[in-house]
A and B are shown apart, each in its own frame.
Chain A
Amino acid sequence: MSDARFLCLEKLTLSYGKNVAVPEMDLDIGKGELVALLGPSGCGKTTTMRAIAGLMEPSSGKIILDNVDITRTPANKRPVGLVFQSYALFPHLNVYENVAFGLKLMGVRGKELDDKVQEGLRTVGLSKFATRKPAELSGGQQQRVSLARSMVMEPKVLLLDEPLSNLDARLRLEMRTELQRVQKESGVTMIFVTHDQVEALAMADRIIVMLDGHIEQIGTPEDIYNRPVSDFVADFVGFENVFALENGKLKTATGTVELSVTPPTDAKGLAWRPSMVSLGSGPFEGTIRGTSFAGGTREYLLDTPLGPIKAECDASLPAHEFSSVLKFDLPVSQAAPLSRVGSL
């Protein structure tokens, strides 16, 4: 079963001077997986990525890749590729030379070199641009060159730092499918760092949600989206109404509120998406303090004894008036039960 433990971080601790950015992280990544490291800025995801690449030395713990301990292997000897957020292309070299850079250092020469570079350029659809300088390319094209430059090295793991963040919305969609295609065709283990949950959900086989240097949750996009385990993850993926539980009751800023149905006993909290809040009837009342039209739906911000509640309903239904009082319910059957609260 070494395939499931292709890349392992064992009690990996990463620090900047005395500041510990990532304490004792354990993580297994399988061969050929497309994994997203998801989290807000400062959560340690980039630090973790840099440690895997060898650009940062861990203060303790191990990094094992394909059964080899690479913890102390210098960055230039690791079979790991990295596509930088800024692409980091060499400005004095043209596209072809950029892609050939690493291969030449490996000692690849002549026809073999040419074949590999051409193949790399073909994979990312840039064969026609071989003689261009990076400055003459668009952001998306630079991204592809950077991808090809790493891919021709046939790394065991390819890391991508915020691969889509510098692209405009349309290119982002295109690049998403492109990255997935390259990953599936080559079978390379790919880890990308992102702060955008939509990106992570859309692309990854598995998502690792990070917060303050530790892993909050690991799961498939479906797991993360539908079954967040903590209040942080819940909020991050759109469960905007998050409550802690105390003796089976909802904890609010002022006290506790009883629910119509007793929640599961092992739950420490409950979370509802705005669309799960049923408006029009129920035991609670709230005043509409804000409303916004979002195409297919209409969103309401309610001022309630439970605190502010975000609700959402079909835009084809008649709109509720501003400051009108509405009855609503938080159906326990739909709520995501949280096993951890307190990180928000």
Chain B
Amino acid sequence: MTNKLFSPIILLLVLAFLIGPFLIIIAASLSAGETLAFPPQGLSLRWVLKVFEVESFRASFGISMFLAIGGTLAALILGIPASYALSRYKVPGAETIRTIVSSPIIVPGIIVGLALLRYFVVPFNFGILFALFLAHTALILPYAVRVVSASLNNLQSDIEEAAVLLGSSRIGAFFRVVMPNIRGGILAAFILGFVTSFNQVPVSLFLSGPGVRTLPIDMLAYMEITYDPSVAALSALLAFMSLGIVFLAERFLGFSRYV
């Protein structure tokens, strides 16, 4: 009896906790008032429109998109051959390589950020954008290797030999029969990497500098000065963008199979 009553309540609480902030942000972004508040004071789209007018948001959105797309592509270019080598050949120290590759997941971002700043950016005098690009690539690499490895391990390795015996070159076999079968995994890795990079705060915080900020960092900076609902509006827009990507991925690729 208690179970019948208890479990739906728990379920509702969990859902409220998970989805609640999202709903509050949406509501707050539709406010007509001057400050970020919930419940919203009146209804209007003025703050949603304001988002598109703020110059720094446009610039940092561009940088975030560049890092998310560029960093993920770079991580895949490094990660796909690495995954292939790890799953097909007896690589000496393969376990160690896997651990090292996964370390950015385990090590707190704040440490990574500080270390990169102190021992990488400062001594070598890298440009801010380049440093951010390297950091994001490194952070995404583990996801790329893990997800791509998972789909490679599900693939029979002798299909490559079969392709070769049917007249394909070794490299041709990779593109003709391996790539098409791990395409889903690669796209899943891309989406994971994109979202990870786009939402990255601690590392980006350390590496951002004058004129070069990622969107989340820019939002923090904006809020320190201006406490209007446009940040809520931007958050809501970003949430819908992520939701849209994941929805499309699930719809067309069965995303959840790979993650």
Contacts and interface: CB of A to CB of B under 8 A. Distances in A.
B153 to A, nearest CB: 14
Interface in A177-219: none
Contacts of B176: 101
Contact of A53 (B155, B159, B165, B169): B165
Contact of A105 (B158, B166, B181): B166
A102 B167 contact: yes
A105 B166 CA distance: 8
B182 to A, nearest CB: 10
Interface in B154-168: 155-156, 158-159, 161-168
A90 interface: yes
B181 A91 contact: yes
A76 B169 contact: yes
A149 B164 CA distance: 13
Interface of A: 53-55, 75-78, 80-82, 84, 86, 88-92, 101-102, 105-106, 149-150, 153
Interface residues of B, number: 17
Interface in B167-191: 167-169, 176-177, 180-181
Contact of A86 (B156, B164, B168, B169): B156
Contact of A89 (B159, B167, B168, B169): B159
A86 B163 contact: no
Given A53-B165, A84-B162, 19 more contacts: A54-B165, A75-B164, A76-B164, A76-B169, A77-B167, A78-B165, A80-B165, A81-B165, A84-B158, A86-B158, A88-B158, A88-B161, A89-B162, A90-B180, A91-B181, A101-B163, A106-B167, A153-B166, A153-B167
Nearest to B182: A92
Contacts of B159: 88-91
Contacts of A106: 167
Nearest to B177: A90
Contact of A102 (B155, B161, B166): B166
29 contacts: A54-B165, A55-B161, A55-B164, A55-B165, A75-B161, A75-B165, A76-B164, A76-B167, A76-B169, A82-B161, A82-B165, A86-B156, A88-B158, A89-B159, A90-B159, A90-B162, A90-B163, A90-B180, A91-B155, A91-B181, A92-B177, A92-B180, A92-B181, A101-B166, A105-B166, A106-B167, A150-B165, A153-B166, A153-B167
